[in-house]
Amino acid sequence: MDADERQELVLLLRRLTVELDAVGQRFAGLHGLGRTDVRAMVAIMDAARRGEALTAGVLGQAVDLSSASVTALVDRLERAGHVRRVRDADDRRRVALELSESAMAAGADFFGGLNRDLLAAMADYADDELTVVRRFLTQMAAVIERHARADPPS
Protein backbone atom coordinates (compact mmCIF):
# COMPACT_ATOMS: atom_id res chain seq x y z
CA MET A 1 0.00 0.00 0.00
CA ASP A 2 1.67 3.22 -1.12
CA ALA A 3 1.99 6.54 0.64
CA ASP A 4 -1.05 8.08 -0.99
CA GLU A 5 -3.27 5.25 0.13
CA ARG A 6 -1.99 5.53 3.67
CA GLN A 7 -2.61 9.24 3.60
CA GLU A 8 -6.11 8.47 2.47
CA LEU A 9 -6.60 6.45 5.63
CA VAL A 10 -5.76 9.50 7.71
CA LEU A 11 -8.30 11.54 5.80
CA LEU A 12 -10.81 8.77 6.33
CA LEU A 13 -10.35 9.05 10.08
CA ARG A 14 -10.95 12.78 9.84
CA ARG A 15 -14.03 12.27 7.71
CA LEU A 16 -15.36 9.91 10.33
CA THR A 17 -15.09 12.56 13.00
CA VAL A 18 -16.67 15.18 10.80
CA GLU A 19 -19.64 12.94 10.08
CA LEU A 20 -20.02 11.90 13.69
CA ASP A 21 -19.94 15.55 14.60
CA ALA A 22 -22.69 16.18 12.08
CA VAL A 23 -24.76 13.45 13.71
CA GLY A 24 -24.46 15.23 17.03
CA GLN A 25 -25.38 18.50 15.41
CA ARG A 26 -28.44 16.93 13.87
CA PHE A 27 -29.52 15.63 17.23
CA ALA A 28 -28.95 19.09 18.65
CA GLY A 29 -31.07 20.75 16.02
CA LEU A 30 -33.83 18.18 16.43
CA HIS A 31 -34.11 18.96 20.13
CA GLY A 32 -33.35 22.67 20.11
CA LEU A 33 -30.00 22.23 21.82
CA GLY A 34 -26.57 23.73 21.25
CA ARG A 35 -23.48 21.79 20.34
CA THR A 36 -22.11 22.04 23.85
CA ASP A 37 -25.35 20.76 25.33
CA VAL A 38 -25.14 17.60 23.28
CA ARG A 39 -21.54 17.04 24.26
CA ALA A 40 -22.55 17.42 27.88
CA MET A 41 -25.43 14.96 27.59
CA VAL A 42 -23.19 12.45 25.88
CA ALA A 43 -20.67 12.85 28.69
CA ILE A 44 -23.37 12.29 31.29
CA MET A 45 -24.68 9.28 29.42
CA ASP A 46 -21.20 7.81 29.13
CA ALA A 47 -20.61 8.27 32.83
CA ALA A 48 -23.95 6.67 33.62
CA ARG A 49 -23.01 3.71 31.45
CA ARG A 50 -19.87 3.32 33.52
CA GLY A 51 -21.98 3.49 36.66
CA GLU A 52 -20.53 6.83 37.75
CA ALA A 53 -22.54 9.91 38.58
CA LEU A 54 -21.07 12.97 36.92
CA THR A 55 -20.68 16.06 39.08
CA ALA A 56 -20.81 19.58 37.74
CA GLY A 57 -17.08 20.03 38.14
CA VAL A 58 -16.13 16.85 36.31
CA LEU A 59 -18.53 17.72 33.53
CA GLY A 60 -16.77 21.06 33.20
CA GLN A 61 -13.45 19.28 32.67
CA ALA A 62 -15.00 16.82 30.24
CA VAL A 63 -16.35 19.49 27.95
CA ASP A 64 -13.63 22.05 28.79
CA LEU A 65 -15.85 24.78 30.19
CA SER A 66 -15.40 27.24 33.01
CA SER A 67 -17.42 26.73 36.15
CA ALA A 68 -19.62 29.67 35.26
CA SER A 69 -20.41 28.16 31.89
CA VAL A 70 -21.14 24.81 33.47
CA THR A 71 -23.69 26.43 35.74
CA ALA A 72 -25.35 28.09 32.77
CA LEU A 73 -25.18 24.83 30.82
CA VAL A 74 -26.79 22.79 33.57
CA ASP A 75 -29.38 25.52 34.08
CA ARG A 76 -30.29 25.24 30.42
CA LEU A 77 -30.49 21.46 30.43
CA GLU A 78 -32.47 21.43 33.66
CA ARG A 79 -34.89 24.06 32.40
CA ALA A 80 -35.40 21.97 29.28
CA GLY A 81 -36.12 18.97 31.47
CA HIS A 82 -33.17 16.93 30.25
CA VAL A 83 -31.19 16.60 33.48
CA ARG A 84 -31.77 16.78 37.21
CA ARG A 85 -29.49 18.25 39.86
CA VAL A 86 -29.05 15.85 42.76
CA ARG A 87 -27.20 16.99 45.87
CA ASP A 88 -24.73 14.46 47.14
CA ALA A 89 -25.70 13.26 50.65
CA ASP A 90 -22.09 12.65 51.70
CA ASP A 91 -20.48 15.78 50.36
CA ARG A 92 -23.21 18.36 50.22
CA ARG A 93 -21.12 20.72 48.11
CA ARG A 94 -21.38 18.37 45.17
CA VAL A 95 -24.12 18.27 42.63
CA ALA A 96 -24.56 15.06 40.68
CA LEU A 97 -26.24 15.19 37.31
CA GLU A 98 -28.80 12.66 36.18
CA LEU A 99 -30.47 12.41 32.82
CA SER A 100 -34.24 12.50 32.81
CA GLU A 101 -36.17 9.57 31.44
CA SER A 102 -37.25 11.59 28.42
CA ALA A 103 -33.66 12.51 27.62
CA MET A 104 -32.54 8.92 28.02
CA ALA A 105 -35.31 7.80 25.70
CA ALA A 106 -34.50 10.46 23.12
CA GLY A 107 -30.82 9.57 23.22
CA ALA A 108 -31.49 5.87 22.96
CA ASP A 109 -33.83 6.47 20.08
CA PHE A 110 -31.37 8.52 18.11
CA PHE A 111 -28.00 7.04 18.93
CA GLY A 112 -29.37 3.57 19.44
CA GLY A 113 -30.38 3.49 15.82
CA LEU A 114 -26.94 4.50 14.71
CA ASN A 115 -25.38 1.97 17.02
CA ARG A 116 -27.55 -0.79 15.64
CA ASP A 117 -26.65 0.08 12.05
CA LEU A 118 -22.97 0.16 12.86
CA LEU A 119 -23.14 -3.25 14.50
CA ALA A 120 -25.09 -4.57 11.56
CA ALA A 121 -22.41 -3.36 9.18
CA MET A 122 -19.81 -5.20 11.24
CA ALA A 123 -21.57 -8.48 10.59
CA ASP A 124 -19.84 -8.60 7.22
CA TYR A 125 -16.42 -8.95 8.79
CA ALA A 126 -14.56 -11.98 10.00
CA ASP A 127 -13.30 -12.11 13.54
CA ASP A 128 -9.66 -11.75 12.64
CA GLU A 129 -10.50 -8.76 10.47
CA LEU A 130 -12.23 -7.02 13.33
CA THR A 131 -9.27 -7.81 15.53
CA VAL A 132 -7.00 -6.00 13.11
CA VAL A 133 -9.40 -3.06 13.01
CA ARG A 134 -9.49 -2.86 16.77
CA ARG A 135 -5.72 -2.90 17.04
CA PHE A 136 -5.52 -0.18 14.41
CA LEU A 137 -8.12 2.06 15.98
CA THR A 138 -6.67 1.66 19.45
CA GLN A 139 -3.24 2.62 18.23
CA MET A 140 -4.48 5.61 16.25
CA ALA A 141 -6.52 6.81 19.20
CA ALA A 142 -3.41 6.64 21.37
CA VAL A 143 -1.38 8.67 18.90
CA ILE A 144 -4.11 11.28 18.61
CA GLU A 145 -4.57 11.44 22.35
CA ARG A 146 -0.88 12.18 22.79
CA HIS A 147 -1.25 15.16 20.47
CA ALA A 148 -4.42 16.32 22.18
CA ARG A 149 -2.70 16.64 25.53
CA ALA A 150 0.72 18.06 24.78
CA ASP A 151 2.76 18.51 21.66
CA PRO A 152 5.34 15.78 21.72
CA PRO A 153 8.62 16.58 19.98
CA SER A 154 8.15 13.03 18.74
Partner DNA sequence: TTCGGAAATCTCGACTTTCGAGAGAATAGG
Partner DNA sequence: CCTATTCTCTCGAAAGTCGAGATTTCCGAA
The residues that touch its own copies, with contacts defined as CB under 8 A, are 1, 3, 5-10, 12-17, 19-23, 25-26, 64, 110, 113-119, 121-122, 124-125, 127, 129-134, 136-141, 143-149, 151-152, 154
Q: Is 93 in the site for DNA (CB under 7 A)?
A: yes
Which of 67, 131, 138, 139 is in the footprint of DNA by CB under 7 A? 67
Question: Do 52 and 107 touch, CB atoms closer than 8 A?
Answer: no
Given a contact cutoff of 8 angstroms between Cβ atoms, the answer to whether 81 and 98 are in contact is no
CB of 89 or CB of 121, closer to its own copies: 121
Nearer to its own copies, 64 or 90 (CB): 64
Q: How far is residue 116's CA from residue 121's CA, in Å, rounded to a whole number?
A: 9
Among 5, 91, 145, 151, binds DNA (CB under 7 A): 91
- Per the CB < 8 A criterion, the answer to whether 88 and 96 are in contact is yes
DSSP string, 66-108: -HHHHHHHHHHHHHTTSEEEEE-SSSTT-EEEEE-HHHHHHHH
Closer to its own copies by Cβ: residue 86 or 102: 102
**10 Å Cβ neighbour count for 38?**
21
- Binds DNA (CB under 7 A): choice among 43, 62, 65, 104: 65
For DNA, the closer of residues 51 and 152 by Cβ is 51
Q: How far is the CB of 110 from its own copies (least distance, A)?
A: 8
Residue 144 CB, nearest approach to its own copies (Å): 4
C-alpha distances out from residue 144 to 19, 34, 140, Å: 18, 26, 6
